[in-house]
Chain A
Amino acid sequence: MSKKLVKLEVPAPLDVEKIMQEKIPADQFEKVAGEKIFDQKFEGEAIGFFKDAWLRFKRNKSSVVALCIIVFIVFMAIFGPMMSKYHFREQHTEFGTLPPRIPVLEDFGIFDGTQQMELFKADLEMEEFKDAVVSIEREFIWKYKNKEIEKVIANINMYEYTGAEDHYFIFGTDNIGRDLFVRLWRGTRISLLIGFVSVFINVCIGVTYGSVAGYYGGKVDMIMMRITEILGGVPFLVMSILFIMVLGAGIVSFILVLILTGWIGMARMIRAQFYRYKDYEYVMASRTMGAKDRVLIFRHILPNAIGPIITQATFAVPSAIFSESFLSYLGLGIQAPEPSIGVLLAEGQRVLTTSPHLTLFPALIISLLMLAFNMFGNGLRDAFDPRMRGL
């Protein structure tokens, strides 16, 4: 091949302006492809975002179990108090601090309403103990002022002893004879109510605030983020104690306290999502086509964050319930007569050794509830965003 420079013929540049202005009649156009579309037909039905997440969620057995537990507890919190014939304020002062007694299980020796008591041996002959003694654990000699007194540790059927044979308090009663079963579910209802309502409001505030800060950016974002930084610096404990001291402990003030700084985490997350998505081409395309800010925020960008929103809200519920019972422990619990799980726990803690059932059942429910919500949240996170699995 000889080295010969070939002069390429460069076509004259198209005069785009001119072509654009030219009017070409429609019948001069011809379809490149025919009417027939050669793409393969989709087989099976289309799977949407939520269905996809659900399919992935279902595979995670522990999360499904957690969901069932949550559903069960919520169901009991709503209908549980109606199942019992007692009312949550109904007092049976003569049946104070009875241990639990459950109809079928009592035949197997568990939850049969017995309690260990230390008694004088002579007392066993007395009328009220006669039928109530189930078994005698051990006998011992108690020395008091140089006298030797025979004492026994006996299992006493408290229901026989107090004359409550006809009653079945399946979780036992508190010191003024209120049925723990009814009070516990009633308390769960209050705790769940506080949790759900505060989280719902937090999501609303956080989403709006974070969207505005993230979408507009610049000065607006800077000012808004400074505000959250300064507010977020106030420790939750300090703020909640101050507010409850002023407002008094009630459902509304608990919800208010949880809202005051609770939305900040959600706002930050939403803002980060907006920063990630707002420069995508599809957003620009939509803006070029004249979409308003409102449409861009709520129709186009926000739905990207739906997974993290749901996940974060799920994790916020148990922490709200935790905060409520924590404040109850400090003596800032919801005022009587309305119980909450925290109030019941704090009450039970004071009589831990004499009537452990008053601590056992509320502790069990709050632990189950928090465990279930955390596991459910983990499952949701993995389902919505499989990349995050196991982190």
Chain B
Amino acid sequence: MLKYILKRVAAMALTLFIILSLSFFAIRLIPGDIAGQGAAPELKAALEARYHLDKPLLEQYVIFLKNFLSFDFGESINLYPRRPVFQIIRDKIPTTLQLNIFSLALTIPIGLACGIAAALKKNTWVDYAISAMVVFNVSIPSFVFATVMQYIFCYKLEWFPFLLELEDSSFSLSKFWSMILPILALSFGGISTITRYMRAELFEALNSEYMLLSKSKGLSKLQSTLRHALRNSFIPLCNVIIPMFMNLLGGSMVVENIFGIPGIGSLTSASIQTSDYYLTIAVLFFYSCISLTSMLLVDLSYGIVDPRIRIGGGKVRE
């Protein structure tokens, strides 16, 4: 098991190294001058010294790596001038996290329920209806959902406020009310992903031989489904649910923009639009860390939940 973990961590470190190198070269290669055109030579020299641009490329690279690995991302240039990037990101995390946790809390139970219902009632109208919903939800992008819902429920019917309410940073009912639409928009895709997996896994489990055994030893259908089939079909689901967190973060980029939520997502697009490269790259680094951690968690949880994989050392993904 230890060898397995070490192997995964080593692969992760390499990936992180690639991301950091890409970021470094992206910063270097982006066209434009740090001081702006026609700036005084003294200013330019001072700025270059400040951002270590006067040193050889290799040394710059080492400084860059060192800074990033110690979470020192420098300062924002255009969007929030002279504020440390780390602080900006730290301030934005709670909103995004709140949104994502609510969305997961909605996604997972509904997805599981739909999947179980579809598998138990396979080839009936329940199954067909849920399958149609899945195709529909998978196909329609979250930003289209968000836009359409915003137009209908916020503008035409005026049930919900147009943008997120921001008066108080603490949590309140009216804030939750204004978060409902973004949460829904984020959840649609995830629900159908979980439903699809759950249905496939449970259906396979229901047709397996141990179910025949449990039936033949006299367990009722409810007992055998709950104790045996469901439990086994949950194993592959951790492969879906943990990365879903990362997908939600990605999805919330656009949804946050649409509903004016001041989270990491809107920070990303704002930093891109104002060409605040240090900020952008720091945010991307943040995303990469979350994504890599979640992938590691998937691998480890797989090893813990299903011992066959641990022994095989590395799973065969198809």
Contact = CB atoms under 8 A, between A and B. Distances in A.
Given A229-B11, A345-B144, A353-B151, A331 B292 contact: no
Interface string A256-279: 000000000000110010010000
A234 interface: yes
A238 B11 contact: no
A237 B258 CA distance: 18
B288 interface: yes
Given A233-B11, A378-B135, A352 B317 contact: no
Interface stretch (A8-16, A73-81, A148-156, A362-370): A362-370
B139 A370 contact: yes
B151 A239 contact: no
Contacts of B258: 349
A352 B148 CA distance: 9
Contacts of A34: none
Interface stretch (A36-44, A86-94, A182-190, A318-326): A318-326
Contacts of A245: 26, 30, 272, 277, 280
Nearest to B316: A272
B26 to A, nearest CB: 4
Interface string B16-29: 00110011011001
Nearest to B142: A326
Contacts of A371: 135-136, 139-140
A272 B280 contact: no
A161 to B, nearest CB: 22
B292 A233 contact: yes
B141 A367 contact: yes
A157 interface: no
B280 A330 contact: no
B14 interface: yes
Contact of A238 (B19, B29, B122, B277): B19
Nearest to B148: A363
A322 to B, nearest CB: 6
A253 interface: no
B257 interface: yes
A375 B135 CA distance: 7
B77 interface: no
B150 interface: yes
B53 interface: no
Given A230-B15, A371-B140, A390-B131, A331 B273 contact: yes
Contact of A272 (B254, B257, B281, B318): B318
Interface string B24-43: 01100110000000000000
Contact of B144 (A234, A239, A367): A367
A236 B311 CA distance: 30
Nearest to B13: A230
B246 interface: yes
Nearest to B268: A330
A231 B280 contact: no
Contacts of B272: 241, 245, 330-332
A330 B257 CA distance: 8
A226 interface: yes
B236 to A, nearest CB: 13
Given A230-B14, A345-B143, A330 B253 contact: yes
Contacts of B29: 246
A322 B142 CA distance: 10
A366 B253 CA distance: 19
A237 B15 contact: no
B196 to A, nearest CB: 8
B250 interface: yes
Nearest to B200: A391
B120 interface: no
Interface in A338-361: 345, 349, 352-353, 356, 359
Contacts of A353: 151, 155
A267 to B, nearest CB: 11
B15 A234 contact: yes
A234 B18 contact: yes
Given A226-B11, A238-B287, A268-B317, A370 B141 contact: yes
A115 to B, nearest CB: 14
Contact of A352 (B14, B155, B250): B155
A243 B281 CA distance: 12
Nearest to B162: A353
Contacts of A337: none
A378 B136 CA distance: 13
B301 interface: no
B291 interface: yes
Contacts of B150: 352
Nearest to A372: B139
A363 B287 contact: no
A275 B316 CA distance: 11
B135 A235 contact: no
B147 interface: yes
A233 B144 CA distance: 28
A378 B134 CA distance: 12
Given A322-B141, A367-B140, 16 more contacts: A234-B288, A235-B287, A235-B288, A237-B284, A238-B288, A238-B291, A241-B280, A269-B318, A326-B254, A329-B143, A330-B268, A367-B144, A371-B135, A371-B140, A374-B138, A375-B135
15 contacts: A235-B246, A235-B250, A237-B250, A245-B26, A246-B26, A246-B29, A268-B318, A272-B318, A322-B141, A325-B141, A330-B268, A345-B147, A352-B150, A367-B139, A373-B139
Interface of A: 226, 229-231, 233-235, 237-239, 241-243, 245-246, 268-269, 272, 275, 318, 322, 325-326, 329-332, 345, 349, 352-353, 356, 359, 363, 366-367, 370-371, 373-375, 378, 390-391
Q: Which 7 pairs across A and B sit closest by C-beta, in order of nearness?
A: A233-B15, A371-B139, A370-B139, A235-B291, A331-B273, A242-B26, A330-B269
Interface of B: 11-12, 14-15, 18-19, 22-23, 25-26, 29-30, 122-123, 131, 135-136, 138-141, 143-144, 147-148, 150-151, 155, 199-200, 203, 246, 250, 253-254, 257-258, 268-269, 272-273, 277, 280-281, 284, 287-288, 291-292, 295, 316-318
